[in-house]
Amino acid sequence: MAASIRTNANKVRQRLQPLGKYLIKKKRFVFVLLLLLCFSLVTFSAILPRNHIFEGSITVQEMGFTYNGKQPKRFLESIRDISNLESEGIQTVTFTGNFQSKYLPQLNQLDFLKVELTNGKSKLIIAPENPKLDSEISLDSLQLQPNTKVTRLNYDFFRQQLALSLQRLSTAAPDKKSNTLEIYLGDKPIKVTLEGYKFPELNLQTPPGEQTPIEFIYNPDNKQFNLEMTQKNSLYITLKKTPIFEKQKWFRGKIETENVQFQRLDRNGDIKDELEVSTIVSGKIRMAGEEKEIQKNQFLMGENPNIPLNIQRIRNLEIIPKQGLEVRFSGTDKQITIGLDKDFPVIRIQRSWLDGVLPRDAIVALFSFAAATVANLVPWLLSNTSKSQSKP
Say yes or no: 19 and 156 in one domain.
no
Band (pLDDT 50/70/90 cuts) for residue 19 is very low
Domain count, the chain: 3
Cα 353 to Cα 137: distance, rounded to the nearest angstrom? 54
Cβ distance 23 to 33 under 8 Å?
no
Cβ distance 314 to 257 under 8 Å?
yes
Band (pLDDT 50/70/90 cuts) for residue 30 is low
Other CB atoms within 10 Å distance of the CB of residue 72:
15
Per-residue pLDDT of 134-164, as tens digits, reads: 888 999 999 999 889 999 999 999 899 999 9
Band (pLDDT 50/70/90 cuts) for residue 344 is confident
Q: What is the pLDDT of residue 5?
A: 57
Reply yes or no on whether the pLDDT at 39 is more than 70: no
Q: What is the mean pLDDT of residues 308-316?
A: 91
Say yes or no: 142 and 226 in one domain.
yes
Q: What is the mean pLDDT of residues 287-302?
A: 88
Say yes or no: 128 and 199 in one domain.
yes
Say yes or no: 27 and 152 in one domain.
no
Say yes or no: 272 and 178 in one domain.
no
Q: What is the pLDDT of residue 257?
A: 92
Per-residue pLDDT of 373-390, as tens digits, reads: 656 555 655 565 555 544
| Closest residue by Cα to residue 89 from 213, 233, 235 | 233
Say yes or no: 368 and 265 in one domain.
no
pTM of the model: 0.78
Per-residue pLDDT of 249-261, as tens digits, reads: 889 889 999 999 9
Residues 6 or more apart in contact with residue 207 via CB below 8 angstroms: none
Q: What is the pLDDT of residue 63?
A: 93
Say yes or no: 312 and 206 in one domain.
no
Q: What is the pLDDT of residue 270?
A: 60
| Closest residue by Cα to residue 79 from 146, 164, 18 | 164
* Beta-bridge partner residues of 115: 93
- Does residue 136 sit in helix, strand or coil? coil
Say yes or no: 206 and 277 in one domain.
no
Could you tell me the residue range of the domain that residue 385 belongs to? 14-48+355-390
Reply yes or no on whether the pLDDT at 97 is more than 80: yes
Query: How high does pLDDT run on average in the chain?
Result: 79
Q: Is residue 326 part of a domain?
A: yes
Say yes or no: 301 and 331 in one domain.
yes
Q: Is residue 234 part of a domain?
A: yes
Q: What is the mean pLDDT of residues 216-228?
A: 87
Say yes or no: 32 and 121 in one domain.
no
Band (pLDDT 50/70/90 cuts) for residue 354 is low
Q: Is residue 206 part of a domain?
A: yes
Look up residue 118 and give its amino acid.
T
How many helices (DSSP H) and strands (DSSP E) are in the chain?
3, 27
Q: Is residue 21 part of a domain?
A: yes
Say yes or no: 189 and 313 in one domain.
no
Band (pLDDT 50/70/90 cuts) for residue 12 is very low
Say yes or no: 297 and 338 in one domain.
yes
Which H helix or E strand runs over 218? strand 214-220
Residue at which a domain ends, from 242, 272, 293: 242
